[in-house]
Amino acid sequence: MSDAIKVGFVPLASAARGILIVFCDDALKVGPATAKALGGAAELVKRAAAAASFKGKTGAALDILAPEGLKAERLIVIGTGKASSLKGNDFLKFGGVAAGKLKAGTAAMTIMAELTAGAMTSEQAVAIASGLRLRAYKFDRYKTKKKDGEEGALRADVSLAVGDAAAAKRAFVSAGAVVDGVIIARDLVNEPPNVLFPEEFARRAGLLRKLGVKIEVLDVKAMQKLGMGALLGVGQGSARPSRTVIMRWDGAKKGEAPVAFVGKGVCFDTGGISIKPAGSMEDMKGDMGGAACVVGLMHALAARKAKANVVGAIGLVENMPDGNAQRPGDIVTSMSGQTIEIINTDAEGRLVLADVLWYVAKKTKPKFMVDLATLTGAIVVALGTDHAGMFSNNDELAERLHAAGIESGEKVWRLPLGPEYDKLIDSQFADMKNTGGRHGGSITAAQFLQRFVDGTPWAHLDIAGTAMGVPKTDINQSWGSGYGVRLLDRLVADHYERK
Q: Based on CB atoms, which residue is closest to Zn ion, 111 or 266?
A: 266
180, 269, 407, 410: which one contacts Mn ion (CB under 5 A)? 269
**Near Zn ion by CB under 5 A: residue from 25, 287, 410, 422:** 287
Active site residue 276: yes
Question: What type of residue sits at position 396?
Answer: E
> What letter represents residue 80's amino acid?
T
Residue 315: name the closest of 195, 198, 181, 233 by CA: 198
Indicate which residue of 276, 307, 363, 414 is catalytic: 276
Tell me: does residue 269 bind Zn ion (CB under 5 A). Answer: yes
Cα–Cα distance, 111 to 124 (Å, whole number): 12
* Nearest approach, Cβ of residue 1 and Zn ion (Å): 29
3-state secondary structure of 72: coil
Return the number of the residue (269 or 355) whose C-beta is nearest Zn ion: 269
Least distance (Å) between residue 117 CB and Zn ion: 49
289 forms part of the interface with Zn ion (CB under 5 A): no
> Residue 180 in 3-state DSSP?
helix
Query: Catalytic residue among 350, 400, 433, 486, which?
Result: 350
Concatenating the DSSP letter of every residue in 343-366 gives: S-TT--HHHHHHHHHHHHHHHH--
Q: What track of x and - describes contact with Mn ion for positions 344 through 373 (by CB under 5 A)? A: --x-x-------------------------
Q: Is 248 an annotated catalytic residue? A: no
C-alpha to C-alpha distances, 31 to 27, 41, 334, 405, nearest whole angstrom: 12, 14, 61, 30
* Interaction between residue 407 and Zn ion (CB under 5 A): no
Separation between Cα atoms, residue 499 and residue 309, nearest integer Å: 14
Q: What share of the chain is helix, strand, coil (3-state, %, to 5)?
A: 40, 20, 40
Sign, CA torsion 285/286/288/294 = positive
Q: Decide whether 191 or 346 has the Cβ nearer to Mn ion.
A: 346
Q: Which is nearer to Zn ion, 122 or 345 (CB)?
A: 345
Q: Is 349 in the site for Zn ion (CB under 5 A)?
A: yes
Interacting positions 199-258 with Mn ion (CB under 5 A):
none
**Cα separation of 320 and 341, whole Å?**
18
Would strands 369-373 and 458-462 be described as parallel, antiparallel, or unpaired?
Answer: parallel
For residues 172 and 272, the answer to whether their CB atoms sit within 8 Å is no
Listed ranges 62-70, 84-92, 210-218, 262-270: which one lies at the site for Zn ion (CB under 5 A):
262-270
Closest CB 263 distance from Mn ion, rounded Å: 15
Pick from Zn ion, Mn ion, none: which does 489 bind, CB < 5 to 8 A by kind?
A: none
Please tell me whether residue 371 binds Zn ion under the rule CB under 5 A.
Answer: no
Nearest to 314 by CA among 260, 375, 255: 260
Of 256 and 283, the one with the shorter C-beta distance to Mn ion is 283
Q: Which does 355 bind (CB under 5 to 8 A by kind): Mn ion, Zn ion, none?
A: none
- Give the nearer residue to Zn ion in terms of CB position, either 268 or 368: 268
Footprint of Zn ion (CB under 5 A): 266, 269, 287, 349
- Annotated catalytic residues are 276, 350
Binding site for Mn ion (CB under 5 A): 269, 346, 348
